[in-house]
Amino acid sequence: MLDALIQSIIHQYDFNLAYAAALVNDLSQEELCFLPSKGLENHPAFTLGHLVTGSALTTKYLGGTYEIPEGWETLFLRKGPGDPRLPEINPNLYPAKETLLSELSNQHQKVKSLLLKIDHEALLADKKWRYSAYFPRLIDCIHFMCVTHEAMHLGQLAAWRRAMNLDSALKKL
């Protein structure tokens, strides 16, 4: 049963990666940092980089090494709700879209590789972290990070696209 859950997480994680690419495929570097209205401060460049940091953190949770390109932590790592910092809007501060997508894919591959090798007992062990009250085991944490956390941010990008009067990316998948 745990093998089926791992495969389900991987399928959803793969979907999230494809959806992330579709959400930004038609955007220029300048558009990646545009803020169409208040409440949409997590622009596409920030969101992609933030998902990179989330996947790198997931790699760490799975026993791997947290590794992201130099300088990305300053741009992309936030502490979640309540963090008063907002993403920078200067497009010159951000890596190119292709670089962001490539690193997101790289991080996804690391997570998937570790997921396929991890001992099942380790996945069922308690995991102390910010949302332990809701997701008490490592498998719960991994599911949240690979599926829910990414989907929340990709939903923000979908809303950003609507505010920009852009076509649906989901229908292109």
Q: Which burial class, exposed, middle or buried, applies to 136 when counting CB atoms under 10 A from its CB (0-12, 13-18, 19+)?
A: middle
Could you tell me the residue ranges of all domains in the chain?
2-25+37-172
- Name the pTM for this structure: 0.95
Residue 79 has pLDDT above 70, yes or no: no
What proportion of the chain, given as a percentage, has pLDDT over 90?
Answer: 89
Specify the CATH number of the domain 2-25+37-172. 1.20.120
| Residue pLDDT, tens place only, 85-98 | 889 899 999 999 99
Q: Which helix or strand (DSSP H or E) is residue 99 part of? A: helix 97-117
What is the spatial distance between Cα 127 and Cα 35, in angstroms, rounded to a whole number? 36
Q: What percent of the chain has pLDDT over 70?
A: 99
Q: Which residues pair with 137 in a beta bridge?
A: 126
Q: What is the pLDDT of residues 114-165, one digit of tens each?
A: 999 999 999 999 999 999 999 999 999 999 999 999 999 999 999 999 999 9
